[in-house]
Structure 1
Amino acid sequence: MSVVQADITTLGVDAIVNAANETLLGGGGVDGAIHRAAGPGLLEECRALGGCPTGQARITGGHRLPARFVIHTVGPVWQGGAAGEPLLLASCYRSALALAAEHGLDTLAFSAISTGVYGYPAPQAAVVAVDTVSGFLEASPLPRHVVFCCFSGPSADLHREALAALAFQVPDRAP
Protein backbone atom coordinates (compact mmCIF):
# COMPACT_ATOMS: atom_id res chain seq x y z
CA MET A 1 0.00 0.00 0.00
CA SER A 2 1.16 3.51 -0.72
CA VAL A 3 -0.12 7.07 -0.64
CA VAL A 4 0.23 9.69 -3.37
CA GLN A 5 -1.06 13.22 -3.70
CA ALA A 6 -2.20 13.47 -7.30
CA ASP A 7 -5.06 13.74 -9.73
CA ILE A 8 -6.43 10.18 -9.89
CA THR A 9 -7.33 10.63 -13.56
CA THR A 10 -3.61 10.74 -14.44
CA LEU A 11 -2.54 7.46 -12.83
CA GLY A 12 -1.38 4.60 -15.03
CA VAL A 13 -2.77 1.77 -12.90
CA ASP A 14 -4.98 -1.17 -13.84
CA ALA A 15 -8.02 0.51 -12.26
CA ILE A 16 -8.99 3.64 -10.40
CA VAL A 17 -11.84 3.71 -7.91
CA ASN A 18 -14.44 6.39 -8.42
CA ALA A 19 -16.38 7.82 -5.48
CA ALA A 20 -19.64 7.73 -7.43
CA ASN A 21 -23.26 8.49 -6.70
CA GLU A 22 -26.00 5.84 -6.99
CA THR A 23 -26.86 6.78 -10.59
CA LEU A 24 -23.23 6.34 -11.79
CA LEU A 25 -23.94 9.16 -14.25
CA GLY A 26 -21.30 11.59 -13.02
CA GLY A 27 -21.46 14.38 -10.52
CA GLY A 28 -19.11 16.73 -8.74
CA GLY A 29 -15.69 16.24 -7.23
CA VAL A 30 -13.67 13.19 -8.25
CA ASP A 31 -16.71 11.63 -9.93
CA GLY A 32 -17.09 14.57 -12.30
CA ALA A 33 -13.35 14.73 -12.93
CA ILE A 34 -13.23 11.04 -13.85
CA HIS A 35 -16.21 11.35 -16.19
CA ARG A 36 -14.72 14.43 -17.90
CA ALA A 37 -11.31 12.80 -18.35
CA ALA A 38 -12.71 9.45 -19.54
CA GLY A 39 -14.99 11.03 -22.12
CA PRO A 40 -18.56 10.25 -23.22
CA GLY A 41 -17.97 6.52 -23.56
CA LEU A 42 -17.82 6.18 -19.78
CA LEU A 43 -21.22 7.81 -19.34
CA GLU A 44 -22.70 5.55 -22.01
CA GLU A 45 -21.31 2.45 -20.31
CA CYS A 46 -22.49 3.63 -16.88
CA ARG A 47 -26.02 4.20 -18.19
CA ALA A 48 -26.18 0.52 -19.17
CA LEU A 49 -25.33 -0.53 -15.58
CA GLY A 50 -28.52 0.91 -14.12
CA GLY A 51 -26.93 2.41 -11.01
CA CYS A 52 -25.26 1.02 -7.91
CA PRO A 53 -26.43 0.78 -4.29
CA THR A 54 -24.45 2.31 -1.44
CA GLY A 55 -21.64 0.04 -0.29
CA GLN A 56 -21.39 -1.86 -3.57
CA ALA A 57 -19.23 -1.43 -6.67
CA ARG A 58 -19.44 -1.77 -10.46
CA ILE A 59 -16.68 -1.92 -13.06
CA THR A 60 -16.39 -0.23 -16.47
CA GLY A 61 -13.66 0.36 -18.99
CA GLY A 62 -11.30 3.28 -18.52
CA HIS A 63 -12.06 4.80 -21.93
CA ARG A 64 -9.74 7.83 -22.35
CA LEU A 65 -8.07 7.39 -18.96
CA PRO A 66 -4.58 5.90 -18.52
CA ALA A 67 -6.22 3.32 -16.22
CA ARG A 68 -7.70 0.33 -18.05
CA PHE A 69 -10.77 0.21 -15.79
CA VAL A 70 -12.84 2.37 -13.48
CA ILE A 71 -14.42 0.76 -10.45
CA HIS A 72 -17.34 2.85 -9.26
CA THR A 73 -18.41 2.60 -5.64
CA VAL A 74 -21.07 4.51 -3.76
CA GLY A 75 -20.04 5.61 -0.30
CA PRO A 76 -22.35 6.49 2.55
CA VAL A 77 -23.54 10.00 3.30
CA TRP A 78 -22.32 10.90 6.80
CA GLN A 79 -25.20 11.14 9.25
CA GLY A 80 -23.21 11.28 12.48
CA GLY A 81 -21.79 7.76 12.48
CA ALA A 82 -24.67 5.85 14.02
CA ALA A 83 -26.41 4.93 10.75
CA GLY A 84 -23.97 2.20 9.73
CA GLU A 85 -21.63 4.53 7.86
CA PRO A 86 -18.38 2.77 8.88
CA LEU A 87 -19.72 -0.62 7.75
CA LEU A 88 -20.96 0.82 4.47
CA LEU A 89 -17.66 2.58 3.82
CA ALA A 90 -15.70 -0.61 4.52
CA SER A 91 -18.06 -2.43 2.16
CA CYS A 92 -17.16 0.06 -0.59
CA TYR A 93 -13.49 -0.79 -0.26
CA ARG A 94 -14.07 -4.56 -0.03
CA SER A 95 -16.45 -4.54 -3.03
CA ALA A 96 -13.97 -2.59 -5.16
CA LEU A 97 -11.10 -4.87 -4.12
CA ALA A 98 -13.17 -7.97 -4.87
CA LEU A 99 -13.91 -6.69 -8.39
CA ALA A 100 -10.22 -5.95 -8.91
CA ALA A 101 -9.30 -9.49 -7.80
CA GLU A 102 -12.06 -11.03 -9.93
CA HIS A 103 -10.73 -9.22 -13.00
CA GLY A 104 -7.09 -10.14 -12.29
CA LEU A 105 -5.95 -6.56 -11.66
CA ASP A 106 -2.53 -5.98 -10.07
CA THR A 107 -2.73 -2.27 -9.27
CA LEU A 108 -5.65 -0.29 -7.91
CA ALA A 109 -5.90 3.36 -6.88
CA PHE A 110 -8.58 4.60 -4.48
CA SER A 111 -9.87 8.12 -4.11
CA ALA A 112 -10.93 9.18 -0.60
CA ILE A 113 -14.46 7.77 -0.73
CA SER A 114 -17.28 9.75 0.93
CA THR A 115 -15.03 12.52 2.27
CA GLY A 116 -16.20 15.21 -0.13
CA VAL A 117 -19.80 16.29 -0.49
CA TYR A 118 -20.94 13.14 1.40
CA GLY A 119 -19.33 14.63 4.53
CA TYR A 120 -17.61 11.58 6.03
CA PRO A 121 -14.95 12.90 8.45
CA ALA A 122 -11.62 12.46 6.64
CA PRO A 123 -9.61 11.20 9.65
CA GLN A 124 -12.09 8.41 10.32
CA ALA A 125 -12.47 7.58 6.63
CA ALA A 126 -8.70 7.18 6.21
CA VAL A 127 -8.58 4.65 9.07
CA VAL A 128 -11.50 2.66 7.62
CA ALA A 129 -9.84 2.70 4.19
CA VAL A 130 -6.42 1.55 5.37
CA ASP A 131 -7.73 -1.08 7.79
CA THR A 132 -10.17 -2.54 5.25
CA VAL A 133 -7.66 -2.65 2.41
CA SER A 134 -5.00 -4.17 4.66
CA GLY A 135 -7.35 -6.93 5.78
CA PHE A 136 -8.35 -7.73 2.22
CA LEU A 137 -4.76 -7.83 0.95
CA GLU A 138 -3.78 -10.26 3.70
CA ALA A 139 -6.34 -12.74 2.39
CA SER A 140 -6.07 -12.19 -1.37
CA PRO A 141 -3.15 -12.33 -3.83
CA LEU A 142 -4.75 -9.60 -5.97
CA PRO A 143 -4.49 -6.73 -6.26
CA ARG A 144 -0.78 -6.71 -5.50
CA HIS A 145 -0.52 -2.96 -4.91
CA VAL A 146 -3.09 -0.44 -3.71
CA VAL A 147 -2.55 3.30 -3.93
CA PHE A 148 -4.50 5.79 -1.85
CA CYS A 149 -4.64 8.72 -4.26
CA CYS A 150 -5.41 11.90 -2.37
CA PHE A 151 -6.19 15.18 -4.04
CA SER A 152 -5.02 17.29 -1.09
CA GLY A 153 -1.98 17.27 1.15
CA PRO A 154 -4.04 16.99 4.35
CA SER A 155 -5.87 13.93 2.98
CA ALA A 156 -2.57 12.31 1.99
CA ASP A 157 -1.20 13.01 5.47
CA LEU A 158 -4.22 11.32 7.08
CA HIS A 159 -3.74 8.22 4.95
CA ARG A 160 -0.01 8.12 5.74
CA GLU A 161 -0.81 8.41 9.45
CA ALA A 162 -3.29 5.53 9.18
CA LEU A 163 -0.67 3.42 7.37
CA ALA A 164 1.93 4.25 10.01
CA ALA A 165 -0.49 3.35 12.82
CA LEU A 166 -1.24 0.04 11.11
CA ALA A 167 2.46 -0.74 10.75
CA PHE A 168 3.01 0.16 14.40
CA GLN A 169 0.19 -2.15 15.55
CA VAL A 170 1.43 -5.08 13.47
CA PRO A 171 5.23 -4.91 13.33
CA ASP A 172 5.70 -7.72 10.80
CA ARG A 173 3.53 -6.00 8.17
CA ALA A 174 5.18 -3.34 6.03
CA PRO A 175 2.96 -0.54 4.69
Structure 2
Amino acid sequence: MGEPDLVAQALVAARRSGFHRVLQSTLAHAALCQAVRGRRTEAMRLLVELDEDWGRTRMIPFAEWVPAVGHVAAVLGPDAARLVRDMLDRAPRMTPWAKAAGQVADATLALADGDARSASRLFRAAADSYARMTDTTDHVLATALSVRALALADPAQAAVTLDRVRDFADRNGMPGLLRLAAPATADQP
Protein backbone atom coordinates (compact mmCIF):
# COMPACT_ATOMS: atom_id res chain seq x y z
CA MET A 1 0.00 0.00 0.00
CA GLY A 2 1.39 3.41 -1.02
CA GLU A 3 1.73 6.49 1.09
CA PRO A 4 -1.32 8.77 1.29
CA ASP A 5 -1.38 11.63 -1.19
CA LEU A 6 -1.05 14.57 1.19
CA VAL A 7 -1.55 17.10 -1.59
CA ALA A 8 -4.89 15.51 -2.52
CA GLN A 9 -5.91 15.42 1.15
CA ALA A 10 -5.08 19.10 1.58
CA LEU A 11 -7.10 19.98 -1.52
CA VAL A 12 -10.14 18.05 -0.29
CA ALA A 13 -10.00 19.83 3.07
CA ALA A 14 -9.53 23.26 1.46
CA ARG A 15 -12.40 22.75 -0.97
CA ARG A 16 -14.68 21.74 1.91
CA SER A 17 -13.62 24.67 4.10
CA GLY A 18 -15.75 27.28 2.39
CA PHE A 19 -12.99 29.86 2.84
CA HIS A 20 -11.53 31.41 -0.31
CA ARG A 21 -8.21 32.34 1.32
CA VAL A 22 -7.67 28.76 2.48
CA LEU A 23 -8.62 27.35 -0.91
CA GLN A 24 -6.50 29.83 -2.86
CA SER A 25 -3.42 29.18 -0.74
CA THR A 26 -3.87 25.43 -0.97
CA LEU A 27 -4.43 25.50 -4.74
CA ALA A 28 -1.34 27.65 -5.28
CA HIS A 29 0.93 25.48 -3.18
CA ALA A 30 -0.54 22.26 -4.55
CA ALA A 31 0.11 23.58 -8.07
CA LEU A 32 3.70 24.37 -7.12
CA CYS A 33 4.12 20.94 -5.57
CA GLN A 34 2.77 19.22 -8.68
CA ALA A 35 4.87 21.41 -10.98
CA VAL A 36 8.05 20.61 -9.07
CA ARG A 37 7.13 16.92 -9.12
CA GLY A 38 6.87 17.13 -12.92
CA ARG A 39 3.09 16.75 -12.97
CA ARG A 40 2.64 19.66 -15.31
CA THR A 41 -0.91 18.94 -16.47
CA GLU A 42 -2.19 18.64 -12.90
CA ALA A 43 -0.30 21.78 -11.87
CA MET A 44 -1.89 23.77 -14.70
CA ARG A 45 -5.34 22.41 -13.84
CA LEU A 46 -4.89 23.61 -10.24
CA LEU A 47 -3.68 27.01 -11.44
CA VAL A 48 -6.81 27.35 -13.61
CA GLU A 49 -8.99 26.37 -10.63
CA LEU A 50 -7.25 29.03 -8.53
CA ASP A 51 -7.85 31.62 -11.25
CA GLU A 52 -11.55 30.71 -11.35
CA ASP A 53 -11.93 30.94 -7.57
CA TRP A 54 -9.96 34.16 -7.28
CA GLY A 55 -12.01 35.67 -10.12
CA ARG A 56 -15.13 35.26 -7.96
CA THR A 57 -13.66 37.23 -5.07
CA ARG A 58 -12.52 40.80 -4.64
CA MET A 59 -9.36 40.45 -2.60
CA ILE A 60 -5.87 41.79 -2.88
CA PRO A 61 -3.27 39.22 -3.96
CA PHE A 62 -1.73 38.15 -0.67
CA ALA A 63 1.53 36.56 0.38
CA GLU A 64 0.04 33.18 1.25
CA TRP A 65 -0.42 32.23 -2.42
CA VAL A 66 0.93 34.83 -4.83
CA PRO A 67 4.65 33.95 -4.70
CA ALA A 68 3.80 30.30 -5.30
CA VAL A 69 1.92 31.04 -8.53
CA GLY A 70 4.85 33.06 -9.83
CA HIS A 71 7.09 30.05 -9.27
CA VAL A 72 4.52 27.74 -10.90
CA ALA A 73 4.59 30.03 -13.95
CA ALA A 74 8.37 29.71 -14.18
CA VAL A 75 8.32 25.93 -13.85
CA LEU A 76 5.45 25.38 -16.30
CA GLY A 77 6.36 28.00 -18.88
CA PRO A 78 4.63 30.63 -21.00
CA ASP A 79 1.02 29.38 -20.87
CA ALA A 80 1.06 29.40 -17.08
CA ALA A 81 2.95 32.71 -17.06
CA ARG A 82 0.27 34.34 -19.21
CA LEU A 83 -2.44 33.04 -16.86
CA VAL A 84 -0.58 34.32 -13.80
CA ARG A 85 0.04 37.69 -15.44
CA ASP A 86 -3.68 37.94 -16.29
CA MET A 87 -4.63 37.08 -12.70
CA LEU A 88 -2.31 39.71 -11.29
CA ASP A 89 -3.44 42.33 -13.80
CA ARG A 90 -6.98 41.93 -12.41
CA ALA A 91 -5.83 42.59 -8.85
CA PRO A 92 -7.62 45.46 -7.12
CA ARG A 93 -4.27 46.55 -5.68
CA MET A 94 -0.73 45.49 -6.52
CA THR A 95 1.02 44.18 -3.42
CA PRO A 96 4.80 43.68 -3.17
CA TRP A 97 4.24 39.92 -3.49
CA ALA A 98 2.12 40.41 -6.60
CA LYS A 99 4.76 42.68 -8.14
CA ALA A 100 7.50 40.07 -7.53
CA ALA A 101 5.34 37.18 -8.77
CA GLY A 102 4.51 39.26 -11.85
CA GLN A 103 8.22 39.79 -12.46
CA VAL A 104 8.74 36.01 -12.36
CA ALA A 105 5.86 35.51 -14.82
CA ASP A 106 7.24 38.27 -17.07
CA ALA A 107 10.73 36.73 -16.87
CA THR A 108 9.26 33.42 -17.99
CA LEU A 109 7.57 35.11 -20.95
CA ALA A 110 10.76 36.97 -21.87
CA LEU A 111 12.76 33.75 -21.75
CA ALA A 112 10.18 32.00 -23.95
CA ASP A 113 10.52 34.91 -26.41
CA GLY A 114 14.29 34.41 -26.51
CA ASP A 115 15.17 37.47 -24.43
CA ALA A 116 17.36 35.84 -21.78
CA ARG A 117 18.91 39.16 -20.73
CA SER A 118 15.53 40.71 -19.83
CA ALA A 119 14.46 37.44 -18.21
CA SER A 120 17.60 37.46 -16.06
CA ARG A 121 16.95 41.05 -14.94
CA LEU A 122 13.31 40.28 -14.09
CA PHE A 123 14.19 37.13 -12.12
CA ARG A 124 16.86 39.11 -10.23
CA ALA A 125 14.39 41.92 -9.50
CA ALA A 126 11.88 39.39 -8.12
CA ALA A 127 14.54 37.66 -6.02
CA ASP A 128 15.71 41.03 -4.68
CA SER A 129 12.12 41.99 -3.82
CA TYR A 130 11.64 38.78 -1.87
CA ALA A 131 14.94 39.38 -0.08
CA ARG A 132 13.82 42.90 0.93
CA MET A 133 10.62 41.35 2.29
CA THR A 134 12.82 38.89 4.26
CA ASP A 135 11.08 36.06 2.41
CA THR A 136 13.99 33.65 2.22
CA THR A 137 12.06 30.78 0.65
CA ASP A 138 10.74 32.78 -2.29
CA HIS A 139 14.06 34.60 -2.68
CA VAL A 140 15.87 31.27 -3.08
CA LEU A 141 13.21 29.84 -5.39
CA ALA A 142 13.34 32.90 -7.67
CA THR A 143 17.15 32.74 -7.62
CA ALA A 144 17.13 29.04 -8.56
CA LEU A 145 14.62 29.68 -11.32
CA SER A 146 16.85 32.43 -12.74
CA VAL A 147 19.68 30.04 -13.60
CA ARG A 148 18.20 28.95 -16.95
CA ALA A 149 18.00 32.55 -18.17
CA LEU A 150 21.41 33.42 -16.76
CA ALA A 151 22.96 30.40 -18.50
CA LEU A 152 21.99 32.02 -21.81
CA ALA A 153 22.59 35.67 -20.93
CA ASP A 154 25.63 35.46 -18.65
CA PRO A 155 27.10 31.97 -18.17
CA ALA A 156 29.65 33.16 -15.60
CA GLN A 157 26.90 34.70 -13.45
CA ALA A 158 24.83 31.53 -13.91
CA ALA A 159 27.68 29.49 -12.43
CA VAL A 160 27.99 31.86 -9.45
CA THR A 161 24.22 31.84 -8.90
CA LEU A 162 24.04 28.06 -9.15
CA ASP A 163 26.83 27.77 -6.57
CA ARG A 164 24.85 30.01 -4.18
CA VAL A 165 21.70 27.93 -4.71
CA ARG A 166 23.70 24.71 -4.24
CA ASP A 167 25.22 26.04 -0.99
CA PHE A 168 21.75 26.94 0.31
CA ALA A 169 20.37 23.54 -0.72
CA ASP A 170 23.26 21.73 0.99
CA ARG A 171 23.00 23.77 4.21
CA ASN A 172 19.25 23.19 4.42
CA GLY A 173 19.03 19.58 3.22
CA MET A 174 17.11 20.52 0.04
CA PRO A 175 18.70 18.61 -2.84
CA GLY A 176 15.54 18.96 -4.94
CA LEU A 177 16.02 22.73 -5.13
CA LEU A 178 18.64 22.25 -7.84
CA ARG A 179 16.07 20.68 -10.15
CA LEU A 180 14.40 24.08 -10.43
CA ALA A 181 17.48 25.43 -12.14
CA ALA A 182 16.80 23.16 -15.14
CA PRO A 183 13.62 22.96 -17.25
CA ALA A 184 11.17 20.09 -16.91
CA THR A 185 9.91 18.87 -20.25
CA ALA A 186 7.20 16.28 -19.67
CA ASP A 187 4.66 15.06 -17.18
CA GLN A 188 5.95 12.64 -14.59
CA PRO A 189 3.84 9.91 -12.98
Scaled to the shorter chain, the TM-score interval is 0.3 to 0.5
Q: TM-score scaled by structure 2?
A: 0.35
Structure with the larger helix share: 2
TM-score calculated relative to the size of structure 1: 0.37
Identify which of structures 1 and 2 has the higher relative contact order when contacts are C-alpha pairs closer than 8 Å and 6+ apart: 1
